[in-house]
Every structure is written in structure tokens, then in C-alpha cells.
Amino acid sequence: MKRHHVPIFMLLVLGFLLPANLAYAVSPDEKLADPKLEHRAREISAGLRCLVCQNQSIDDSKAGLAKDLRLLVRERLVKGDSDEQVMEFVVARYGDFVLLKPPFNLYTMMLWLAPLLLLLAGIVMIRRFNADALKKLAAEEREDSPIKAGLSDAEQARLKKLLGE
């Protein structure tokens, strides 16, 4: 193999191996025999947060608690629960935090409104800063400003002559 082909070959190998690392954490012993139930379990699992990782779904997480939750979801589906019943059961046990997309309610209001409030606070701060800057600029341009008030009449006349006024 030519020397300049080695980096390209390594990138290709890494490109094929990387997705294998990002694959679902569901082990073969967890999978259900019924493909329809397994599909439903995957859809439900994709919407549930791993309580250990907190930024991954339980379907993607390799944590032990995520595995327990995946098994719980599959167990409820095998018992005949609907998708909604499974979600309600998990939320009743772990709270809204277990949902990757929590509902808008009294307890999650700050979670949903915080970005908007931060944006509004930033806009108010920028406007206030600009207003203060404009006031200072206007004060500097007035004749009775502290900057010009410190000059004598002769100095002010010389300044006007230099500025061409």
C-alpha cells in the first residue's frame, strides 16, 4: 500500500467502526421475539431519558439503570399495555424528568421559559447599555457638558477654530 493511501484507509476504517460504537445499547437478550412489540419498545425507549447519562435516551445508553428501564418497557408491552400506558407507568414511577421532551406544566414551566427569559433579559440589557451610551454621547456634545465646561473661553474658541466651526 502506498504511503499516502494509509491516512485515507485509516479514515475509512474509522468511518465504518464509529457507527458501530454509536449503535443502540440494546443487547440481543433484551429484544422481544415479536418484531411489532420490539418496534414499539424502541419507539418508547427513544423518548425516555437515561437517568444516569441524562442526555441520552435509554435506547442509546449502556448504563445499568437504562437497561432496567428498557426491560421494564418491554415487560409492560408484553403484558398488553398500550404505548400511552407504558409511558404513564414510567412517568408515575420516575416523574417528568424521565421524558426527553417533558410536557409544559407547572413543574416544567421554568425549563421551557428559561431560554425565552434569558433572551429577553439580554435584549433589555443591550437596550439599556445603548441608551446609556447615547445619553453620554449627547451630554458630551452639549455646550454645558462637563468635558467642555472645563475649558476656558479662549480654549473653547481655539477648539472651535481647530474643528472648523
What pLDDT, in 10s, does the model give residues 111-153?
A: 788 999 999 999 999 999 998 888 887 777 765 555 555 678 8
Q: Which residues fall within 8 angstroms of residue 131, CB to CB, at 6 or more apart? A: none
Mean pLDDT score, 61-74: 88
Q: Which domain holds residue 118?
A: 109-163
Q: Residues 80, 115: one domain?
A: no
pLDDT at 25: 62
Q: Is residue 20 part of a domain?
A: yes
Quick check: 20 pLDDT over 80? no
Residue 55 in grid coordinates: 442526555
Distance separating alpha carbons of residues 39 and 35, to the nearest angstrom: 6
Is the full-model pTM beyond 0.75?
A: no
Average pLDDT over every residue of 59-72 = 88
Q: Give SS3 for 99.
A: strand
Give me the pLDDT at residue 38, please.
Answer: 87
Residue 104 domain-assigned? no
Residue ending a domain, choose from 79, 98, 117: 98
Q: Compute the average pLDDT of residues 86-91.
A: 92
User: Are 113 and 93 contained in the same domain?
Assistant: no
Number of domains in the chain: 2
Q: What distances in angstroms separate CA 135 from CA 81, 102, 141, 149, one per listed residue?
A: 66, 45, 10, 17
> Does the residue 103 lie in any domain?
no
pLDDT at 120: 96
Cα-trace Rg, the chain: 32
